[in-house]
Structure 1
Amino acid sequence: MTGSRGPLPKPNVLKLLSGNPGKRPLNLADGVNPRVEIPSAPRHLGKEAAKEWKRITPLLEELGLISGLDRAALALYCQAVGRLTELEMAFNAKVKGHTDNGMDYAEAVYQVSHGLTPNGFAQQSVLFQILRAHREEVNRYLGHFGLSPSARARVTPSNFLQPDLPGMPEAPTPGAGFAKFAQPQR
Structure 2
Amino acid sequence: MSGTRGPLPKPHALKVLEGNAGKRSLDLAAGVNPRIEIPSAPRHLGKEAAKEWKRITPLLEDLGLISGLDRAALALYCQAAGRLAELETAFNGKVKKLEADGKDYADAVYEASYSVTPSGYAQQSVIVQLIGKHREQLNRYLMHFGLSPAARGRVQASNYVQPTLPGIEPAAQKPTGFAVFSNPMR
Q: TM-score, normalised by structure 1?
A: 0.79
User: Is residue 69 of structure 1 aligned with residue 69 of structure 2?
Assistant: yes
1:62-110 deviation digits (Å, cap 9, x = unpaired): 0101000111111111111111110000001011112223322222111
Q: Which amino acid in 1 is paired with 2:69?
A: L
Cα separation, partners in 2 of 1:78 and 1:26, compared to 1, 3 Å: same
C-alpha displacement of 1:117: 1.1
Contact 2:99/2:108 (<8 A) preserved:
yes
- 2:12/2:30 contact within 8 Å kept: no
Gapped regions of structure 2 (runs ≥ 5): 172-186
1:17-69 deviation digits (Å, cap 9, x = unpaired) = 7x558364776663111000000111111111110000000000001010001
Q: Superposed, which structure 2 residues align to 1:91-170 within 5 Å? A: 91-161=91-161
Q: Secondary structure at the match of 1:123?
A: strand
Instruction: Output the aligned Cα RMSD.
Output: 2.5
Corresponding residue for residue 178 of structure 2: none
Q: Is the 8 A contact 1:27 1:183 kept in 2?
A: no
Whether 1:46 and 2:46 are equivalent positions in the alignment is yes
Cα distance in 1 for partners of 2:129, 2:121 equals 17
Partner Cα distance (1:182, 1:70) in 2 = 32
Question: Please, what TM-score do these two structures have when normalized by structure 2?
Answer: 0.79
Which amino acid is 1:94 matched to? K
Q: Which has the higher contact order (CA 8 A, sep 6+)?
A: 1
How far did 1:160 drift? 1.1
State which structure, 1 or 2, has the greater radius of gyration over its C-alpha atoms.
Answer: 2
The one of 150, 155, 168 aligned to 1:184: 168
CA 1:125/1:180 → structure 2, altered by over 3 Å: closer, same or farther?
same
- Sequence identity percentage: 66
Match of 1:22 in 2: 21
Q: Which 10-residue stretch deviates more, 24-33 or 36-45?
A: 24-33
1:158–1:106 distance in 2 versus 1, CA, 3 Å? same
Determine helix, strand or coil for the equivalent of 1:115: strand
